[in-house]
Amino acid sequence: MSAQAPHWFESITTHGPRLWQRFWSRSNERVGYLFILPSLIHMAVFLLIPLVFSLVLSFTNWQGVTFQGLEWVGLDNYDFLMGDRRFWNAMGNSAKYTLMAVPLGMLVSLAIAVVLNQKLKGVYLFRTLFFMPVISSWVAVAVIWVTLLDPTSGIVNYLLDLIGLPPVNFLGDPNTALPALVMIAVWKGAGFQMVIWLAGLQAIPEALYDAAAIDGASWWQSFRNVTLPLLAPTTFFLAVTGVIGSFQVFTSVYVMTKGGPLGSTDVVVHRIYQRAFQNFDMGYASAQSWVLFGIIFAATLLQLWVNRRRGQEILF
């Protein structure tokens, strides 16, 4: 008769691999948490804590220098904000900016992407050139455009004079200042959106275009019935991110117009900046920031709802 193995040996050989696998998986899990710990600390210190702090401040009258005289005012800041004409004028300017910049920017960048998606000579060079404004500093770009749009010595008005048109004070006229900022933003952001459009275009199977051509479809029919429906997720992404970014526009306004002329470019983030860092009314500025957050959040939810109702169908 062969000797029977001890009970403890059978237990180790049977359950040992499972215990070791469980220990190893838990160990990997702990190591994973250690790897993401620096990012979590960074997010907590520079995002979560300031968010909570600003929410608390929105119910106070803090002046932003010392905590002496800090008082809890409850909803007074929000109550005053409801009747603040300057704030709502700035919110209206932000809405106008968004309604102009987002559709125009998407159309221009889509046209560029469609052209640069062709097999053309030097296409990679042109893609790089269109993307260069994206990586340029907004401050540097704004200073350059202030010079280009100067009503007396700017090259844009010089070109208008060559074709017999009168000079235009683009940044000094309330009727043209906001559209001028929109055009500059479209020019600067076209390269980024172009890259996103290109990714969507190159993900469309070529066989679909071949089938459309066999059925006798023209280029426009293929574009409308094949390209646009399959670009629906890309369109939705650019629309959502475009609306969020447009409501947060600040640098170009601060450098180029300071909110003028006559408040025509006084967007909401510029208004919050003035209230917080010029008037040192941090409590009221925090309330304005949270109202802006609520409006952006509502606009995003509205886009999600519309997109679901349409079943990701894009209508132009």
Q: What angle do CA 301, 245, 103 make, to 5 degrees?
A: 80
**Domain membership flag for residue 63:** no
The dihedrals phi and psi of 87, each to the nearest 5 degrees, come to -65, -45
- Across the range 141-170, mean pLDDT stands at 92
Residue 111, pLDDT score: 95
Residue 271, pLDDT score: 95
Residue 315, pLDDT score: 41
- Output the CA torsion 136→140→142→145 (10° steps): -90
How much is the pTM?
0.85
The dihedrals phi and psi of 72, each to the nearest 5 degrees, come to -85, 115
Compute the mean pLDDT over every residue in the chain, rounded to the nearest whole number.
88
d(CA 145, CA 181): 10
Higher-confidence residue of 310 and 23: namely: 310
**pLDDT of 245 strictly over 60:** yes
Please report which confidence band the pLDDT of residue 182 belongs to, taking 50, 70 and 90 as the band edges. very high
Do 144 and 230 contact (CB within 8 A), yes or no? no
**pLDDT of 4 strictly over 70:** no
d(CA 300, CA 209): 33
Q: How many CB atoms lie within 10 A of CB 277?
A: 12
Q: How many CB atoms lie within 10 A of CB 109?
A: 24
Owning domain of residue 217 = 81-310
**pLDDT of 21 strictly over 70:** no
Question: For 188-208, what is each residue's pLDDT tens digit?
Answer: 999 999 999 999 999 999 999
**Domain membership flag for residue 194:** yes
Residue 19, pLDDT score: 53
**Domain membership flag for residue 20:** no
Q: What whole-number percentage of the chain has pLDDT above 90?
A: 72
Question: What CATH number is given to the structural domain containing 214?
Answer: 1.10.3720.10
- Across the range 64-92, mean pLDDT stands at 89
Do 91 and 175 contact (CB within 8 A), yes or no? no
3-state secondary structure 220-278: HHHHHHHHHHHCHHHHHHHHHHHHHHHHCCCHHHHHHCCCCCCCCCCCHHHHHHHHHHC
**Domain membership flag for residue 239:** yes
**Domain membership flag for residue 225:** yes
Q: What is the sign, positive or negative, of the torsion defined by CA atoms of 146, 147, 149, 152?
A: positive
d(CA 255, CA 261): 13
Name the H helices within 46-176. Answer: 49-57, 76-82, 85-116, 123-135, 138-148, 155-162
- Across the range 120-139, mean pLDDT stands at 91
Q: What angle do CA 201, 180, 269 make, to 5 degrees?
A: 90
**Domain membership flag for residue 156:** yes
Question: For 85-124, what is each residue's pLDDT tens digit?
Answer: 999 999 999 999 999 999 999 999 999 999 999 888 888 9
Please report which confidence band the pLDDT of residue 2 belongs to, taking 50, 70 and 90 as the band edges. very low
Residue 18, pLDDT score: 61
Q: How many domains does the chain have?
A: 1
* CA-wise closest residue to 54 among 263, 285, 261: 285
- Output the CA torsion 8→9→15→18 (10° steps): 130
The CA radius of gyration of the chain, in Å to the nearest whole number, is 28
**Domain membership flag for residue 58:** no
Do 316 and 225 contact (CB within 8 A), yes or no? no
**Domain membership flag for residue 165:** yes
Q: What is the sign, positive or negative, of the torsion defined by CA atoms of 49, 51, 52, 53?
A: positive
Residue 1, pLDDT score: 43
**pLDDT of 16 strictly over 90:** no
The one-character DSSP state at 75 is T
